[in-house]
Structure 1
Amino acid sequence: MKLYGWPQVFAVIYAPLISIGIFGNILSFYIFRKMKKSAISLLLSALSLCDLLLLFFALPLSCLCMLPIGNMRTSHSIQSLMLIYSTKYLYPPLVAAKTASLYILGAITIERWFAVFKPLQQEKDQNTTKMLLHVTVFFGLCHFFGVAVKVAECIFDRQTTENALLLYMH
């Protein structure tokens, strides 16, 4: 396989990094679930699960899309079909996992701030149930103030669809 540029080189470099990340996140999830039931262990185990979803699905798909597999000029190539189906079925859960990962990092930051600046109050007031309630309310507020997006259906000819796929992949 001939590599044509930096995106293909990075796709090859990502393979060992993905495997190390999967091993590390499985190990951290196992360790954090065995810890005492505290808010920080719950948040860290949820963070490792979100990162596992991204490592299992998002990064391998992006690497496969960067590699020169098949003929990209034909609409029947494996890569084009994989891109179409992954965009339809895998993209929404991956965006949700990435967003949840960012929200969990924010919750960890807030929880650690309370642990450092108000340690006695944090021990008394923070537990797993309250942390789950706060995260649920926060996610609910984000969905309450969400923006509606209208999607218009467009019909393209075959050449436009191929060009759109090529543009999307670069």
Structure 2
Amino acid sequence: MRAAYSLQVNQAWHAVPEAAARATLLQVLRNDLQLNGPKYGCGLGECGACTVWVDGVAARACVIPAHGVARRSITTLEGLPALHGQAGTLHPVQQAFVDAQAAQCGYCLNGMVMMAAALLARNPNPSEADVRKELSGNLCRCGTHLEIIRAVLLAADRMRKVPA
């Protein structure tokens, strides 16, 4: 396998094969790196199921050419706990989603968690309106938005109580 370029994903470098040289970031993450956190939803960057972080900023992996982020840091749902110093456990946002029973089918949750964690990294004390605005571009067809908002506020509260 000859590498076209390398990607830094979840704090590790991965060679991207030449066959995937023109693929989207989502395709490389799922097909070549076998990461199942980001989901394929709409393929247009509209639903949020494919949300990852690129250099700490939430981005839609389905519309990003993978070669365009070759020198940047990419974080998927799988790498989120390690960024919070909790490798091997759930990130506080992930745990809050479990505790608040924010999942039904779970398809949207990976993107919701990534967006929520990005919000809390920027704003550790969001209002309900802040959470609603941040997650407004992520679609949930099961109707668990109230539980999701409750989960994000729960995570924010828990994260504020943990000493830095």
TM-score calculated relative to the size of structure 1: 0.28
Higher helix share: 1
Higher-RCO chain (CA-CA 8 Å, sequence separation at least 6)? 1
Larger Rg: 1
TM-score calculated relative to the size of structure 2: 0.28
